[in-house]
Chains A and B, each alone.
Chain A
Amino acid sequence: MSYEIVARPHQQNFIDWAKDKPEVLVLSADLTNSCEVGKWRDTYPDRFFSMGMAEQNMMGMAAGLAREGFEPWLHTFSVFLYRRPLDQLQMSIAYPALKVRLVGFLPGIMTPGGVTHQAIEDIAILRAIPNMTIFEVGDATEAQSVLDVAHDVQGPVYIRMLRGEVSRIFPVTEPFVFNRARILSTGTDITLITSGIATEEALRAVPLLQARGVSVTHLHVSTLKPFTDPQVVAALKSAKSGVITMENHSIIGGLGSAVAEVMAENGISAPLQRIGLKDTYAHGASQKFLMAEYELDAAALVKRVEVAVGRKLDIDESELQEQRSINVHSSAKVEAL
């Protein structure tokens, strides 16, 4: 399997998209080029506001602008949008349900910047905040089509965004749809629900699993809050041997927890295995290295499926490597911290 690689999917797309939307502003906290909005700034200098390394004030100013009818799109790394300025995010933006868009780059372990740069519990924290909507994009098509979806939400939105060299997994003709999962395969043994970069990783293993006689229903989820898609409930009900979630996030409070809540609320009885960071911080290293170290990769998924179906599947690492469409340790992935 190989995908088209899109270089900087957000950069020009966001410029074109914002052209006829004068209310759309960008606020940036000293990571402008790192968040692919340097060219946006040069194109629309009157709509770009540099806030410096001062995220608490950035939240408040975004709130004031939104109250006056502007739509600020804050661009910085995920981790800087919710850790330090959490009270400001809650009291200035979330409580009044203002149309502020928080575009967070390098979610989870996608950065070699280490613990200070790794947003591993952002979904858990933001899911608990009333009025928030949470999206996570899984490919270039979603990185580009999430703009329309976010624009339509009449309240604050947090987006786990992708940058740099990004695979196009989903056709351009199938854009991001609010609160609707993508059904990537159907089967009756395992229900696999993935989000963000975990989807591309899981897609490396799924064909091999199917070749070994394990039928898999695979859903890609890109709306994490609300989490009320009836397709998810139906898929969970169909799992004979178990449910597996896979996410670039802590296993506490993110996709895995959201699935567990839905299963409990709907009386769905099946073993649930959550792939994600097992209640641990990570450290600075390449994405590929960290995904292997913390068992977030395709090999980890195979092991979980073996547990669920109760047999060895004899899939070795070289087979999984052959499924790898891009080298996630390429130079483009570690540029411009």
Chain B
Amino acid sequence: MREITFENVDEKVYKETLPNGLEVILIPKREMNNTFATFVTDFGAADLFFVPLGGKEPIESPMGVAHFLEHKLFDKGEDRDIVAEFSRLGAQSNAYTNATETAYYFAATDHAYENVRLLIDFVQDSFFVEETVESEKGIIVQESQMYADDPGQRLYFLMLKSLFSKHPVKNEVLGTIDSINGMTKEDLDTAFNTFYHPSNMKLCVTGNFDLEKMMDMIKEDQEKKEYPAPTEIVRIHTEEPAAVASKETTIHMPIGSPKCSIGIKEYETAIDPEQLAKRTRLTEITLDHFFGLSGEFYKELYDEGLIDGTYNYSHTLDKDFGFTMLTSNSDNPDAFADKLKSQLLSLKDYKVDAELFERLKKRTIGRTLRKMNSIEANAEEYVWHAIRGIEYFDTIPTIQSLTVEDWQSFLKVWISEERLAVCTIMPEN
């Protein structure tokens, strides 16, 4: 077990890669009452082209296989109810699938070891029966239809499809109705065997537990299970152009007020971990300053009646893709989009100010520290960063190392016309 001390934030992280390849990350904090654990596979909705474990030729999985698997792992047949088993151990459990990861987690103030064992056991046990695969399809199709009725979700995926023409991040996490209905037990088995191999997974436990006892328990559990030797998973990447797939898209839905989103295709090729870490913070600072709720531009949008309380923005930056969306309900979506576009395009000529940048860095540092109060956030962020080769607890030094010149160079190249897309949902009629 390796001990890494981050004196700066007073955290100690213990790591060990077990013989089967599983990376265990323990961040004990005995002062806390809660224990949180997340068990994550580096496998999400965008992992569709790969060479299966033991195979030679690449295959293409049906869209939505990662999410379908997440559902099925909770299903252990008639006589078991995983969520209720966690409840009986005083834990609240859940899971999620996004473009790049599937995560299973719990939080509990009691029975830390039993809960961690239950977490590992239920995720590592694939119990796929043909007929329950069939019955799950109806449930997932319904879930997908529920999202389809939600204008916010529709706009989000509409934008991803406008930004990316080939990269699988453009696909809906749940898949399409056809791909869900076409799912077979073999599809699930193949994906499970390849991506739920311990060497593609990380287990992170934070909060109140005894370090040695927890590690011993996890090791003992893993030694009892048999896995083929770890191998590198070959994922096939498709070439993606820099320009957006479609500049302007409008659809109609039965909604009250129009909804509009401006998307930025940040990048589409792999960037290295250090770049990713820095770019993430610069993007955060930039969005916060130019588009944040305490900024001047927001006030203008608001005073001109172009936005309402639904205005929001988010960025997703990853290993080989990145995008940002700014969204609001607006009675005048064209004017909203034009104003945002010209603001974005003007930033390449923006003259940065050193004092301002220092203030923005400080705000970001404070926010980072506040987030580190939470053991849940620490586990999730640590794993996310670890999968991407970044040390999460070095975030503050990373922010401090940013210079005003970094910001100036970033702004110079951040926006270009070909990387912007606008999507609008208009009311019917």
A and B interact: no
Interface residues of A (CB under 8 A from B): none
Interface residues of B (CB under 8 A from A): none
